[in-house]
Chains A and B, each alone.
Chain A
Amino acid sequence: MERDDLIVNDSYALNAHHSEEEGAKIRRNTWKVTGILTLLTTVEVIMGIFFKRSEAFSWTMIKWTFIILTLVKAAYIVLVFMHLGDERSNLKKAVLAPYMLFIAYLLFIAITEGFGHLGNFNAFH
């Protein structure tokens, strides 16, 4: 059974069309991002195999490198693959703002709890 309501009311979806030339551009960009994601993952794996864990400063720097590379990969996936970069800026903000809050909350709780052993925070013992 054909549902013509979907055609009439999904006017935004009907706008999501592009020409052959635009498509070729998007495909080129897609393969470029694929190359970047593969390269970053390879770098992470090589670092994971060759750098030994220790208490030293260098391992802390490597951990931060992992986290930064992960955020770069995440940004490529969300902005290019999920096309959030092509949406209106108010939708971008609606999606990303909760994470700014979440990260701020995490930093707060990590710093508070991380110093818990110095103060009288042992309510659970």
Chain B
Amino acid sequence: MGGESTKVISKEELWGGGQSPFSVSYGKMMMWYFLVSDALTFGGLLTAYGFVRASSEDPWPIGEQAFRSLPFIEGEYPLIYVALMTFILIVSSVTMVLAVEAGHRNDKSGVIKWLGLTIIGGFFFLGSQAWEWSHYIHGSGGSFLLNESVEVTSDEGQVFSLNKGDVVYMDHHFGHLAEPWIEGEPEVSLIKSDHGVKLVEMGAHPHEVELHSLTLNKYINNESQVSGDDAMKLWNARSESFSFGANLHDNEYASQQAYADFFFFITGFHGFHVFSGVVINIIVFIMAYRGVFERRKHYEMVEKIGLYWHFVDLVWVFVFTFFYLI
């Protein structure tokens, strides 16, 4: 970058009035100041997350256990989807750098091309986040709390002594019918079967699901499957308290609500920034296309929205580490 940043200016001239001591325009300086304050907001949120997590007495879900699904594909891929979102955002940040660079050469078609790709990247990120929210809200099977102490042996032979209030997780086939059954839908009923119990749905799409196994410590560490008679022991010790997916009052991921609240607030607040960034990018794209900056003889507006867009990427780098990795 040439221009003012490398120019040698004497102190008297720099601070003597009549020019910006920072050698930047008013708009760019104010964008920097806005980003400083906005980063402190996110810093405050992530700090609050850290403090609440450190002081939480209930188990706290961890990223690679809670986020391990990919759209359209069966199976488990821990962190891959979030890594993909991170990559999309990094790439859209790169196209923005190239748009700013093209602006410095007054290259109108370059700005339009790279800014257009940045907007597409932004939509991809927003779409990914919408899928992740949807997946998080629907959950993967649901959970219930125990009403009494029970001792069970997992499939690997580990013995668990569980207490009242501990969480037990259902698989998504059983949970899919358990949800309407808990809500009192007349078409779904619980009946005894040869191996234990099963849920039966009548009506337009009749089908039934056997209770094969239940899971312990699903979102924490070392999840364990419990099947057969031991699964029935867990099922019979269940309380009325079932949770499916997550909302603002209740979630299947943990016995406390703080984790789900922080997920919604932090990723939601970041997603809102991405959304407003895409809207601003579109406005500037239209302005560039109509030749506004060509008449102004400089593309500094692209530089200013570029700062905002990189900031959104920067925040995601921190969210990725502190929410998903650690």
In the complex, what residues of A have CB within 8 A of residue B24's CB? 12, 87-88, 91
Task: Supply 17 A–B pairs (Cβ within 8 Å), ascending by A.
Answer: A17-B105, A22-B2, A23-B105, A30-B94, A30-B101, A31-B94, A38-B90, A41-B90, A42-B83, A48-B64, A69-B321, A74-B317, A82-B306, A86-B6, A91-B24, A91-B32, A102-B43
> In the complex the two chains form, what is the Cα distance from A53 to B219 in whole Å?
12
CB of A100 within 8 Å of the partner chain: no
Q: Are B101 and A27 in contact (CB under 8 A)?
A: yes
B288 to chain A, nearest CB (A): 15
- Total interface residues in chain B, CB < 8 Å: 66
In the complex, what residues of B have CB within 8 A of residue A34's CB? 90-91, 94
In the complex, what residues of B have CB within 8 A of residue A52's CB? 221-222
> In the complex the two chains form, what is the Cα distance from A77 to B22 in whole Å?
21
**In the complex, chain A residues 1-28 whose Cβ is within 8 Å of any chain B Cβ:** 2-3, 6-7, 10, 12-20, 22-23, 26-27
Q: Are A16 and B321 in contact (CB under 8 A)?
A: no
In the complex, what residues of B have CB within 8 A of residue A80's CB? 97
B94 to chain A, nearest CB (A): 5
Known: A48-B325, A88-B5, A94-B22. A77 touches B317 (CB 8 A): yes
> In the complex the two chains form, what is the Cα distance from A65 to B35 in whole Å?
26
> In the complex the two chains form, what is the Cα distance from A22 to B86 in whole Å?
29
**In the complex, chain B residues 104-163 whose Cβ is within 8 Å of any chain A Cβ:** 104-106
Number of A-B contacts (CB under 8 A): 162
Q: Which B residue's beta carbon lies closest to that of A51?
A: B64
Known contacts A23-B102, A44-B320, then 13 further A-B pairs from the complex at CB < 8 Å, ordered by chain A residue? A10-B296, A15-B2, A17-B104, A17-B106, A30-B98, A41-B86, A48-B78, A49-B78, A66-B321, A77-B310, A81-B96, A87-B22, A88-B22
In the complex, what residues of A have CB within 8 A of residue B1's CB? 16, 18, 26, 83, 86
> In the complex the two chains form, what is the Cα distance from A102 to B39 in whole Å?
11
A73: which of B25, B300, B317 is its contact (CB, 8 Å)? B317
Q: Which B residue's beta carbon lies closest to that of A92?
A: B22
Q: Which chain A residues have a beta carbon within 8 Å of chain B's beta carbons? A: 2-3, 6-7, 10, 12-20, 22-23, 26-27, 30-31, 34, 37-38, 41-42, 44-45, 47-49, 52-54, 63, 66-67, 69-70, 73-74, 77-78, 80-83, 86-88, 90-91, 94-95, 98-99, 102, 106, 113-114
**In the complex, chain B residues 1-48 whose Cβ is within 8 Å of any chain A Cβ:** 1-6, 20-25, 28-29, 32, 35-36, 39-40, 43, 47
> In the complex the two chains form, what is the Cα distance from A26 to B100 in whole Å?
11
**In the complex, chain B residues 139-191 whose Cβ is within 8 Å of any chain A Cβ:** none
Q: Which B residue's beta carbon lies closest to that of A10?
A: B25
In the complex, what residues of B have CB within 8 A of residue A70's CB? 317-318, 320-321
> In the complex the two chains form, what is the Cα distance from A94 to B2 in whole Å?
21
Q: Are A16 and B79 in contact (CB under 8 A)?
A: no
Q: Are B105 and A63 in contact (CB under 8 A)?
A: no
Q: Which A residue's beta carbon lies closest to that of B86?
A: A41
A98: which of B40, B62, B300 is its contact (CB, 8 Å)? B40
In the complex, what residues of A have CB within 8 A of residue B62's CB? 53
A48: which of B29, B35, B79 is its contact (CB, 8 Å)? B79
In the complex, what residues of A have CB within 8 A of residue B22's CB? 87-88, 90-91, 94
In the complex, what residues of B have CB within 8 A of residue A3's CB? 296
Q: Which B residue's beta carbon lies closest to that of A3?
A: B296
